Chains A and B, each alone.
Chain A
């Protein structure tokens, strides 16, 4: 966390005030500033946030028709009336001077970012003609959509109506996919988003690399603070002394890449010392004896040289977890694509939780429920694709249960199992979301069409043939949010202010494109309000009421076994699978085992990356309010190590990876808060897109350095914490 220094701001102010004169004229204002003057019209409009994808209920304020501020909606169970800094700073997305303003068609070569501004009609006609040509020559399956967030709903609909099944999101294979698969294989159900973690009621919370407080998913951070406030015992495992570590009773500075050994050793202690919940395991468990035999060798003494965590600390922390069970939660994390055995590590975390007996229990994992809202009834059936999904030929990744982004990318490069000739990319900066930018660019170069729909001129937009400027969330309707949660709810996103230029909402773009493609019958509604009203009416809810309140709250629901809610396990055995027959059948480890991962050599550091509370991926660095909170990222490097390189905080340096990629320059943060064998930076910086004027060239990009990745054999995730870098010294 960068401290905002008064002196730094004062330095800036010296220049800014040259020639400034005292306010002249007018009546004497009150002694303290009053942002609302007499006669100003304040309006409050409820909506839900889109700066990250947690979808917090918000209330936006306008002052004389102009956007003023955004606060949490107290009726919303996700925000509980309090947004995170990104939500509060969402105002800046509307005022961002760098945002896309008009449809653009590429003028020269791809990636040169030279554009001709065109009308929507020209842009959509161009796209539709190319899409029809792709359909004719290669079939509709040769068009793929990459999409992130609720705003992709209608583009997905158009692409399915067009006839393609190839729709993927980096949020799966580059983020939480391995976790969902690992938990599914164990409990027969996923963790989902928002996570079903009952952090608020946990008496012992274990975080493995999960940096809550820096990773700012609002509800989780609020509950984390509540747990800390309630005196919960916090155990943090992280090579970096995170914010969460500063709240912890136990901080375990683990050697990166060895988490699996620690988890196995913890399970070994719980089982060998008989600290696990025997009744729970007896009642709900399957294959426990095989599991027990399989982990028998993973003692704390075995784990010590691997993890560098002392045996006594492993024992103490395992006992600490058991002491508070079942209100003892080992957080499953969210971005878990680290080393390529991530689904198995997530499964090990699931099993550790199972030993604590916390699935379906208070202070562990609750059972979420969503409000019943029927889908829109009135769409014709989609055409049945003649070819199956392109991303996972032969089901090489047997437990992939969503489409793999890198699988589509491979097919685009190789033409196998069939060619992919068109990409539509919605609200995801694929160049920074997928590992190995060279492969992404190679794939792009074999496309007949690349369309990017976004609010900012991101790197991927720079490579597009057509860029379509979307209205930001404060300017548009979107689909309803009724995500399963501990308190069921329905939330509405609705426009607060108009788009400043020629930006359009995604639903309008998707519908107009469908019309151009001759698919108007898939849009029986002419305006999204009709669509929303129809969905709500079918569920017996009032659209007007939702527009007024922003949230419809559901009834109180049972959450835990303690409430009489028996858990249901959708596994083959109908139980918690300590031993997985499914995995064994595919030649994969039925019980997680330890795989040794390569470690950096002399002079090398493992490159780790994470998040900062005021930024979402690479999407917020031009938002003036949020950029001001963190203009560039820093390279965290152990203070002693930095000293050996003659580096001190504030110096600039560059990183070079094993494939010879050299990063943009990045400021050093020489700190006692990280191990010496790794370096860390916040993801989302080092922008190279010219249109992102404010962010251009500020900080370094971990994505650029992530040329290596390891495929997860279970589900096709891409482990990305496998890149080693050296420090390239240069003058400031």
Chain B
């Protein structure tokens, strides 16, 4: 069974937010909210500056606190791709998952349920890539099966320096940033 994840090449990313806009149009994300976002991390003093630009979203963690804390089972691990998903009709909007997520990846949709990145499973089921991956003009994003050693994502993780976000949280996030 596949275990979906993403690899994002920060050396190519220019932080243009196309991924954010594409997610919003693809998924009808309501105004004022987004399921993915750009973080720019600046280190050093001018002119000796280093900068990492990252497109971030739900990490679809292997060890997902949002799922463990959900009182209704709305937040769950979906069999397809072992991704973390929310069933809107079962969610009561209690925000326990918002508090539990160390990545601030969730928000309460104005319709009343916890909302976040779905890895565009509706597209993936049709053989397409997630919207953010497919639009990126720098082609910095890769999506695939982390359990398949021959997948592009697995090969990139093996061959390039990379890191995840807040590994100390113990969530085993599935989005890897190439540096």
A interface residues with partner B (beta carbon < 8 Å): 1, 3-7, 9-10, 12-13, 16-17, 20-23, 26, 28-36, 68-72, 82-85, 88-89, 91, 212-214, 216, 218, 221-222, 224-226, 228-229, 241, 243-247, 251, 253, 613-614, 624-626, 628-629, 638-639, 671-675
Tell me whether B177 is interfacial, beta carbon within 8 Å: no
Asked if B20 and A629 sit within 8 Å, CB to CB, the answer is yes
Q: Which residues of B contact A31 (CB under 8 A)?
A: 76, 78, 85-87
A-B contact pairs, 29 of them (CB 8 A): A1-B40, A3-B39, A3-B40, A4-B17, A4-B34, A5-B104, A9-B33, A16-B32, A21-B112, A22-B88, A23-B111, A28-B89, A31-B86, A32-B83, A36-B122, A69-B22, A82-B18, A85-B16, A88-B21, A213-B14, A213-B16, A225-B140, A228-B11, A229-B12, A246-B49, A246-B52, A613-B17, A625-B21, A674-B46
State A241–B43 Cα separation when bound (angstroms).
Answer: 12
With known contacts A28-B87, A85-B21, A35–B26 Cβ distance under 8 A: yes
State A89–B174 Cα separation when bound (angstroms).
Answer: 28
Asked if B87 and A225 sit within 8 Å, CB to CB, the answer is no
Q: Which residues of A contact B105 (CB under 8 A)?
A: 6
State A635–B40 Cα separation when bound (angstroms).
Answer: 17
State A629–B93 Cα separation when bound (angstroms).
Answer: 26
Tell me whether B143 is interfacial, beta carbon within 8 Å: no
Q: Mark B75-86, 1 if CB is under 8 A from A, else 0.
A: 010100001011
Tell me how far the C-beta of B3 lies from the nearest C-beta in chain A, rounded to whole angstroms: 16
State A663–B46 Cα separation when bound (angstroms).
Answer: 27
Tell me how far the C-beta of A16 lies from the nearest C-beta in chain B, rounded to whole angstroms: 5
Asked if B25 and A241 sit within 8 Å, CB to CB, the answer is no
Q: Which residues of A contact B78 (CB under 8 A)?
A: 31-32
Asked if B49 and A6 sit within 8 Å, CB to CB, the answer is no
Taking CB as reference atom, which chain A residue is nearest B90?
A28
Q: Which residues of A contact B47 (CB under 8 A)?
A: 241, 251, 253, 675
Asked if A22 and B16 sit within 8 Å, CB to CB, the answer is no
Tell me how far the C-beta of B30 lies from the nearest C-beta in chain A, rounded to whole angstroms: 8
Q: Which residues of A contact B18 (CB under 8 A)?
A: 82-85, 88, 613
State A362–B76 Cα separation when bound (angstroms).
Answer: 53
Asked if B37 and A1 sit within 8 Å, CB to CB, the answer is no
Q: Which residues of A contact B32 (CB under 8 A)?
A: 9, 12-13, 16, 628
Asked if B107 and A243 sit within 8 Å, CB to CB, the answer is no
Tell me how far the C-beta of A727 lies from the nearest C-beta in chain B, rounded to whole angstroms: 18
Tell me whether B168 is interfacial, beta carbon within 8 Å: no
With known contacts A34-B122, A82-B135, A83-B135, A9–B107 Cβ distance under 8 A: yes
Q: Which residues of A contact B22 (CB under 8 A)?
A: 69, 88
* Residue from B18, B20, B85, B107 with most neighbouring chain A CB atoms (10 Å): B18
Q: Which residues of A contact B93 (CB under 8 A)?
A: 17, 20, 22
Asked if A9 and B34 sit within 8 Å, CB to CB, the answer is yes
B interface residues with partner A (beta carbon < 8 Å): 9, 11-12, 14-18, 20-22, 24-28, 31-34, 37-40, 42, 44-47, 49-53, 76, 78, 83, 85-89, 91-93, 98, 103-105, 107-108, 110-113, 115, 118-119, 121-122, 134-140
Tell me how far the C-beta of B131 lies from the nearest C-beta in chain A, rounded to whole angstroms: 8
Asked if A624 and B46 sit within 8 Å, CB to CB, the answer is no
Q: Which residues of A contact B138 (CB under 8 A)?
A: 213, 221-222, 224-225
State A12–B52 Cα separation when bound (angstroms).
Answer: 27
Tell me how far the C-beta of A332 lies from the nearest C-beta in chain B, rounded to whole angstroms: 20
Taking CB as reference atom, which chain B residue is nearest A246?
B51
State A129–B12 Cα separation when bound (angstroms).
Answer: 56
Asked if A23 and B89 sit within 8 Å, CB to CB, the answer is yes
With known contacts A88-B135, A251-B47, A10–B107 Cβ distance under 8 A: yes
With known contacts A3-B40, A10-B98, A34-B122, A614–B17 Cβ distance under 8 A: yes
Q: Which residues of B contact A26 (CB under 8 A)?
A: 89
Q: Which residues of B contact A69 (CB under 8 A)?
A: 22, 25-26
State A16–B14 Cα separation when bound (angstroms).
Answer: 31
Taking CB as reference atom, which chain B residue is nearest A218?
B137
State A369–B92 Cα separation when bound (angstroms).
Answer: 60
State A83–B136 Cα separation when bound (angstroms).
Answer: 8
Q: Which residues of A contact B87 (CB under 8 A)?
A: 28-29, 31
State A35–B28 Cα separation when bound (angstroms).
Answer: 7
Q: Which residues of B contact A10 (CB under 8 A)?
A: 98, 104, 107
Asked if A13 and B85 sit within 8 Å, CB to CB, the answer is no
Asked if A85 and B17 sit within 8 Å, CB to CB, the answer is yes
Selected from B21, B33, B52, the residue in CB contact (under 8 A) with A13 is B33
Tell me how far the C-beta of B97 lies from the nearest C-beta in chain A, rounded to whole angstroms: 13
Q: Which residues of A contact B122 (CB under 8 A)?
A: 30, 32-36
Taking CB as reference atom, which chain A residue is nearest B13?
A225
Q: Which residues of B contact A216 (CB under 8 A)?
A: 16, 137
State A82–B27 Cα separation when bound (angstroms).
Answer: 18
* Residue from B25, B86, B112 with most neighbouring chain A CB atoms (10 Å): B25
Asked if B34 and A20 sit within 8 Å, CB to CB, the answer is no
State A314–B18 Cα separation when bound (angstroms).
Answer: 36
Tell me how far the C-beta of B83 lies from the nearest C-beta in chain A, rounded to whole angstroms: 8
Taking CB as reference atom, which chain A residue is nearest B49?
A241
Tell me how far the C-beta of B96 lies from the nearest C-beta in chain A, rounded to whole angstroms: 14
Q: Which residues of A contact B98 (CB under 8 A)?
A: 10
* Residue from A20, A26, A70 with most neighbouring chain B CB atoms (10 Å): A20
Asked if B38 and A22 sit within 8 Å, CB to CB, the answer is no
Tell me how far the C-beta of B32 lies from the nearest C-beta in chain A, rounded to whole angstroms: 5
State A26–B14 Cα separation when bound (angstroms).
Answer: 42
Inter-chain pairs besides A29-B88, A70-B25, A222-B138, 9 sampled, C-beta below 8 Å:
A6-B37, A13-B107, A33-B118, A82-B134, A243-B14, A613-B17, A625-B24, A639-B46, A672-B49
State A229–B20 Cα separation when bound (angstroms).
Answer: 22
State A445–B172 Cα separation when bound (angstroms).
Answer: 66
Q: Which residues of B contact A30 (CB under 8 A)?
A: 122
Tell me how far the C-beta of B169 lies from the nearest C-beta in chain A, rounded to whole angstroms: 15
State A68–B53 Cα separation when bound (angstroms).
Answer: 29
State A84–B98 Cα separation when bound (angstroms).
Answer: 31
Asked if A626 and B21 sit within 8 Å, CB to CB, the answer is yes
State A23–B115 Cα separation when bound (angstroms).
Answer: 13
Taking CB as reference atom, which chain A residue is nearest B119?
A32
Q: Which residues of A contact B9 (CB under 8 A)?
A: 229
Tell me how far the C-beta of B134 lies from the nearest C-beta in chain A, rounded to whole angstroms: 7
Selected from A22, A29, A35, A229, the residue in CB contact (under 8 A) with B11 is A229
Asked if A241 and B28 sit within 8 Å, CB to CB, the answer is no
With known contacts A613-B14, A625-B21, A246–B50 Cβ distance under 8 A: yes
Taking CB as reference atom, which chain A residue is nearest B121?
A32
* Residue from B50, B51, B85, B110 with most neighbouring chain A CB atoms (10 Å): B51
Q: Which residues of B contact A253 (CB under 8 A)?
A: 46-47
Which 10 residue pairs are nearest across A and B when measured between Cβ atoms? A213-B14, A6-B104, A225-B138, A613-B16, A32-B118, A246-B51, A4-B37, A253-B47, A85-B18, A69-B25
